[in-house]
Amino acid sequence: MSSFWLPPRRRSCQLRSSARASVMESDMTSVSGIDATLPGIARVYDYWLGGKDNFEVDREEAERLAKINPKLPDIACSNRRWIIRVVRYAVRSGVRQILDVGCGLPTSSVQFPNVHETAQEEAVDTRVVYVDNDPMVQTHGRALLATNECTSLQVGDLRDLNAFLESMRSWGLDLSQPVLLLLAAVLHFFPDRGEPHPKRIVGEIMGRLPPGSFLAISHGEDTGDLREVAKNYTAASTQLRNQQQVLELFSGLELVGPGVVQLHKWHPDEDRTSLNYSVPVLGGLARKPSCHA
């Protein structure tokens, strides 16, 4: 275990000894639900981040798309760095629970710490619930993410929103206390013509969280930089949105400055976690006020 896993302050969450058991790639295809013949959203993204939890079909998709837009790996990195900044902001604002939906495969490294590592470095008792619908994330996540008693990984699919909302109650979150709902790079997989619409997803989940909770969204921007990529992406149908459309997802909430902006403009901080070129992904963080309708 690298020293990165041990926050500087006393850990109130006990480490689980078997948590970092490795999972062989060759075992993956035999795990029920994992289809190694089709590219998967989480695995393609993992490849752009320099991860190893992907198959040949994912690497081919990732490289084909990177030929259309060579910035894609940097865009993925920029998204991960933005996540670090919003998580720090929310925890420094007093939030001690995070619901990371569409969490993706573990990224643990000094450059790309996982959400629970970032959060628990700020406050060791921060509870993190990761949720994803990808069986590969479940397999790797159980082995690599569930490293302490404040962190868990749950199966959840936003497409079945009612079941998702029902399950949420059993995930060990105290829904009377503020939660950061993190929806990073996931809502653009919900087109306007489909069900549920991202507005409904956000509205229903935030509706179950108390005032003082935060909502963080990153979302592919509808620009020339990404349109060709979205058209050629075969792992899922994708709908890019413009700033106004992403802004509308925060309806009824108080946006933290500077609002919804390209990721590199959102709190570019002194430790240079943001990249210094234009990133065609929009991000924002907002707080649920006490008078939320």
Ligand X SMILES: C[S@@+](CC[C@H](N)C(=O)[O-])C[C@H]1O[C@@H](n2cnc3c(N)ncnc32)[C@H](O)[C@@H]1O
251-260: b or e for each residue (b if 16 or more CB lie within 10 Å)?
Answer: eebeebeebb
Q: Which of 34, 72, 80, 178 binds ligand X (CB under 6 A)?
A: 80
Neighbours of 168 (CB within 10 A): 21
In the chain, the amino acid numbered 9 is R
**Interaction between residue 159 and ligand X (CB under 6 A):** yes
| Per-residue mark of binding to ligand X, 214-253 (x: CB under 6 A) | ----------------------------------------
Cβ contacts of 245 within 8 Å, gap of 6 or more: 222
Size of the site for ligand X (CB under 6 A): 21
Q: Does 189 bind ligand X (CB under 6 A)?
A: yes
Least spacing, CB of residue 236 vs ligand X, in Å: 7
Q: Is 41 in the site for ligand X (CB under 6 A)?
A: yes
Should residue 69 be labelled a site residue for ligand X when binding is judged by CB under 6 A?
Answer: no
Least distance from ligand X to the Cβ atom of residue 122, Å: 18
CA 187 to chain centre: 10
**Residue 158 near ligand X by CB under 6 A:** yes
Q: How far is CA 240 from the centre of its chain?
A: 17
Interface positions, 81-140, toward ligand X (CB under 6 A): 83, 102-104, 132-134, 137
To the nearest 10 degrees (0 to 180), the angle between helices 115-122 and 72-92 is: 30
* Beta strand residue intervals within the chain, DSSP E: 97-101, 127-132, 151-155, 180-184, 214-220, 254-255, 261-262, 281-287
Q: Which is nearer to ligand X, 103 or 150 (CB)?
A: 103
Segment contacting ligand X (CB under 6 A): 60-68, 152-160, 206-214, 225-233? 152-160
DSSP 150: T
Residues lying near ligand X in the complex (CB under 6 A) are found at: 41-42, 45, 79-80, 83, 102-104, 132-134, 137, 156-159, 184-186, 189
